[in-house]
Amino acid sequence: MEAVGAASGELWLHLIGLALESPADADELVARLRRLDAAELRRHLVGAHVPAWRTAVGPERLERAAAGDPEAAAEILADECYYGGQARNALERLLPLPAEETKRAVLDVVAQFASEVLPGRADLTRLRAVVEADRAKLVHDDPEASVAAVTGGYAYEREPELRRVVLVPQLAAPPWLLLLQHDDARVIGYPARVEDDPDRLVRLGRALSDEKRVEILRHLAGGEATLNELTARTGLAKSTVHHHLAQLREVGLVGIRGNARGYWYPLSADGADAGVELVRAALTPPADTRG
C-alpha cells in the first residue's frame, strides 16, 4: 500500500469495472490483472472508462495522463471535480511511474489482499445471504424503487448515458455508499444491512450526540442541500461534512438523491418517525411488568 498511497481508497473502486467486464472470484480477478496490458490498466485507473471523469477533464487529457504525459497528469490532479476531489491521494504516486511499475504496485496489493485477507472470512457467507434477501426487494418494473429499497433510501436519478445499474452489497466501508460508473453501467456499492439490528438505538443515539450533526439536521429542516452548501453553512471541511452525513444517513435521518451531475441531501421524515418509535419502544416496559 505504501507504494500506491495509504489514502488511495478511491483508486480501488476503478478495478470493479474489470470485474463487471468478466465476473470472477478473487483468484480469477488477480489472474486477469496479471494478464491485463499495463497500459490498459492505467486507463482503468485514471477513469478512461468513467463517463463522469471523461466529461470533467476531457477524454484526450485522460488518455495522455494514462500514457505518462506529466503535463496532463498535473492538470487532472489539480482538478477539484475529478476523482471526487481525491485525485492526489489516489494517483499522485502512480502517475509518474512507467506503466509496468504501476501494474506491479497495484497487483501486489490486490494479490496480497486476495491471498491473506479474503480466505476464511465468515462475513462472506453473510454477504451472500444479504444478496439473496435483497433480490426479494427488487421491483422489476420500477428500477428507482428497487435502488431505494435495497440501498436504504438512495433516490437514484437516471443518467441518460448509462443503460444499467449494478447493485453491490459491500462490507468494506459502511456506512458509505460507494458510487462509480464504468462504461454504460452505474455501480452502487451499498452497505450490507442486517435486519432487526439490535444496535440500531445505540447508533441513533451516537448519531445525535454530535452537535455538528444536529446543526446539519437543523440546516436541512429548511430544505435539502448539497455537500458544498452544507460545507459553507457549517464552516467545516467538506470531508468532515461528508462523514457527518454518512452517519446521519446510516440511521435513516437523512436521505440522498441525484447522480454524477450532483447530489442533494434531504431530511427523511420516515426515518425521523422510525427513530421516535425506536426510542418509544425502548422506554416502554413489557406488558407483563407493568404495575
pLDDT tens-digit readout, 91-148: 999 999 999 999 999 999 999 999 988 877 777 888 888 899 999 999 888 989 999 9
Looking at 1.10.10.10, 3.40.50.2000, 3.40.830.10, 3.30.460.80, the CATH number of the domain 200-289 comes to 1.10.10.10
3-state class (DSSP) for residue 249? helix
Question: Per DSSP, what are the bridge partners of residue 264?
Answer: 257
* Residues 109/1, Cβ–Cβ less than 8 Å: yes
Rg, C-alpha atoms of the chain: 21
∠ Cα 14 15 17 (to 5°): 80
**Lowest pLDDT segment from 7-16, 152-161, 224-233, 281-290:** 281-290
Distance CA 99, CA 105 (A): 10
Please give the sequence-ordered ranges of beta strands (E in DSSP) within 144-245, or none if there are none: 154-156, 164-170, 178-182, 185-191
Q: What is the pLDDT of residue 105?
A: 96
Residue boundaries of the structural domains of the chain: 9-117, 123-191, 200-289
Q: What is the pLDDT of residue 174?
A: 82
Distance CA 174, CA 189 (A): 10
Q: Please give the average per-residue pLDDT across 142-158, as a whole number.
A: 91
Distance CA 17, CA 103 (A): 16
Q: What is the pLDDT of residue 70?
A: 96
Provide the angle, in degrees to the nearest 10, between the axes of the packed helices 200-208 and 238-250. 150
pLDDT band at 69 (very low <50, low <70, confident <90, very high): very high
Q: What is the pLDDT of residue 85?
A: 85
Q: Please give the average per-residue pLDDT across 238-250, as a whole number.
A: 90
Task: Specify the DSSP class assigned to residue 225.
Answer: B
- pTM for this predicted structure: 0.85
Left, alpha or beta for 170 (phi > 0: left; psi -120 to 50: alpha)? beta
Give the chain's mean pLDDT.
89
Tell me the three cell numbers of residue 139: 421491483
pLDDT band at 197 (very low <50, low <70, confident <90, very high): low
Q: Is there a cis peptide before residue 191, judged by omega within 30 degrees of 0?
A: no
Residues whose CB falls within 8 Å of the CB of residue 59, separated by 6 or more in sequence, listed in order? 48
DSSP-derived pairing of the beta strands 256-259 and 154-156: parallel
* Residues 241/230, Cβ–Cβ less than 8 Å: yes
Q: What is the pLDDT of residue 181?
A: 95
